[in-house]
Amino acid sequence: MKCDAKAFAKMYETVYRDLYRFALCTMKNSHDAEDAVSEAVMNAYEHIASLRSEESFRSWIFTILVNVCRKRLKKQARQTVKEDAAFFEREEETEPGKSPEYELSMDLKKAFSVLSEEERAVIGLSVFSGYRSEEIGRMLGLKDSTVRSKRKRALRKMEILLKDS
């Protein structure tokens, strides 16, 4: 597909919030999420010629973002395994007068962090971005029945962890 910067910006404008939300849920912090979205947008812009139609833009750019997030998470995992624990300790120490909303937010972050990378991608695309299992399957290279199973299992894990909190 031929596309100029103006047309790309117009298509991007329709999805940027969902891209950021997904990246934030996947990457666990705003700085990494912003970096992942920026990298995905640059990759998308550089390879816009491979986009077959404007209607496919949303799922196409989400697929790019999923791959960028996976790559970055693998790199982070090689660097240190202790970052998640340190992140939650810092969050708990810096928040004075913890409200019930804050406690729930921390519980949700912890529950989300126990999920595997693939489970976070499925939940993020499903719950936060509203994709159907068929669409998620295409993005992640999975069967739609596998996506549904992974989503159900991931939500069950989170539910169990939240009940224990």
With CA atoms as reference, report the closest residue to 17 among 163, 94, 128.
Answer: 128
Q: Measured between alpha carbons, how far is 14 from 162 in angstroms, rounded to an integer?
A: 33
Could you report the per-residue pLDDT of 21-62, keeping only the tens digit for each? Answer: 999 888 888 999 999 999 999 999 999 988 888 888 998 999
- The CATH architecture to which 5-164 belongs is Up-down Bundle (1.20)
Q: Measured between alpha carbons, how far is 35 from 27 in angstroms, rounded to an integer?
A: 10
With CA atoms as reference, report the closest residue to 63 among 43, 49, 34.
Answer: 43
Q: Does 97 have pLDDT greater than 70?
A: no
Q: What residue ranges do the domains of the chain occupy?
A: 5-164
Could you report the per-residue pLDDT of 102-147, keeping only the tens digit for each? Answer: 666 677 777 778 888 888 888 888 887 788 898 888 888 889 999 9
Q: Does 73 have pLDDT greater than 50?
A: yes
Q: Does 154 have pLDDT greater than 80?
A: yes
Q: Does 67 have pLDDT greater than 60?
A: yes
**DSSP structure string for 3-39:** --HHHHHHHHHTTHHHHHHHHHHHHSSHHHHHHHHHH
CA-to-CA dists, residue 164 to 37, 107, 111, 158, 161, angstroms: 34, 10, 10, 10, 5
User: Which range has the top average pLDDT, 62-66, 81-85, 96-100?
Assistant: 62-66
Phi and psi at residue 60, to the nearest 5°: -65, -45
Q: Does 81 have pLDDT greater than 50?
A: no
Q: Does 85 have pLDDT greater than 60?
A: no
Q: Does 162 have pLDDT greater than 60?
A: yes
Do residues 147 and 45 lie in contact, with contact meaning Cβ atoms separated by under 8 Å? no
pTM for this model (two decimals):
0.59
Burial of 154 (0-12, 13-18, 19+ CB in 10 A): buried
Q: Does 95 have pLDDT greater than 70?
A: no
pLDDT at site 158: 85
Q: Measured between alpha carbons, how far is 83 from 73 in angstroms, rounded to an integer?
A: 12
Q: What is the mean pLDDT of residues 72-93?
A: 59
